[in-house]
């Protein structure tokens, strides 16, 4: 058993206190980083896509959507860990998006990884979110920045396993156009599937932006998200403060947590 330090603050970029706990290293897998691809340019907090290869004979799949893996990293003799939801699971590989916070405790360690480096990974962690093939008539998603990561496999799954009778809406909040991740892919999915609508909202939009401006509020939720009723669900994921604000907003509008809205 090895003592590790667990950062309980989900949002990086703040001075977080760490808690020591025991981790059974035999339950971890040593995975190799095989590629690191930048997803943003000229932004305050750049995002990169990390692709890891699992050891021979080890597979995490088939993995239910919404489950997160745990990445471990060393810093000044301490082992830190952080949960990430892969956007891609394959037979022997998976991919995660990581946003770099300059004063963060964990993300600088991940962004310092080089191709060929081996990193300890813990298999997927279960969530309370389960999505059946015909369980809902309308699924809404509110994502902020890299919070879109768990939404991508959810969208892919629902578009592959459901008919066009299922309505899908993604409200995607970012600071600037340069911060928007996978816009081309999301636009292609929306163009291909008429039941999917992607709505972008920017808090620091330039003069050339003709889309939504500001932050996610009651008006945007009422306009694009399903009402709190049966056969409807809202998923949210973003920074710690975003999730705190959105939980309060949804609850004030009559949504019930873990019943018709869930947070990653």
- Which residues are part of a known binding site for FAD? 82, 84, 99, 107
Q: Which residues are annotated as a binding site?
A: 82, 84, 99, 107
Instruction: State the DSSP code for 178.
Output: G
Q: How far apart are CA 165 and CA 108, in angstroms?
A: 43
Q: How far apart are CA 264 and CA 68, in angstroms?
A: 9
Separation of CA 145 from chain center: 8
- The owner of tokens 């300890």 is 120
Using CA atoms, how far residue 8 sits from 14, 30, 79, 83, 209, in Å, is 11, 23, 14, 10, 36
Tell whether omega for the bond before 62 is within 30 degrees of 0, i.e. cis.
Answer: yes
Q: Are 81 and 7 in contact (CB under 8 A)?
A: yes
Closest CA to 200 of 238, 143, 240: 143
Q: How far apart are CA 73 and CA 21, in angstroms?
A: 15
């Amino acid at each position: 058993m090895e003592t590790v330090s667990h950062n309980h603050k989900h949002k990086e970029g703040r001075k977080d206190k760490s808690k020591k706990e025991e981790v059974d290293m035999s339950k971890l897998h040593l995975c190799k980083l095989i590629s690191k691809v930048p997803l943003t340019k000229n932004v305050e907090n750049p995002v990169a896509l990390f692709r890891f290869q699992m050891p021979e004979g080890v597979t995490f799949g088939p993995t239910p959507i919404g489950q997160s893996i745990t990445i471990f990293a060393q810093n000044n003799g301490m082992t830190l860990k952080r949960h990430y939801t892969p956007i891609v699971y394959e037979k022997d590989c998976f991919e995660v998006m990581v946003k770099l916070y300059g004063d963060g405790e964990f993300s600088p360690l991940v962004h310092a990884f080089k191709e060929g480096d081996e990193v300890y990974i813990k298999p997927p962690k279960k969530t309370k979110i389960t999505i059946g093939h015909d369980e809902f008539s309308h699924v809404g998603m509110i994502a902020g920045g890299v919070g879109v990561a768990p939404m991508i496999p959810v969208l892919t799954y629902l578009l592959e396993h459901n008919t066009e009778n299922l309505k899908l809406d993604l409200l995607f909040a970012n600071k600037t156009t340069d911060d928007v991740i996978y816009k081309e892919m999301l636009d292609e999915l929306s163009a291909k599937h008429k039941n999917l609508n992607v709505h972008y909202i920017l808090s620091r939009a330039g003069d050339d932006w003709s889309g939504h401006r500001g932050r996610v509020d009651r008006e945007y939720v009422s306009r694009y998200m399903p009402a709190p009723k049966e056969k409807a669900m809202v998923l949210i994921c973003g920074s710690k403060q975003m999730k705190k604000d959105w939980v309060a907003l949804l609850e004030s509008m009559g949504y019930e947590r873990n019943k018709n809205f869930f947070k990653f």
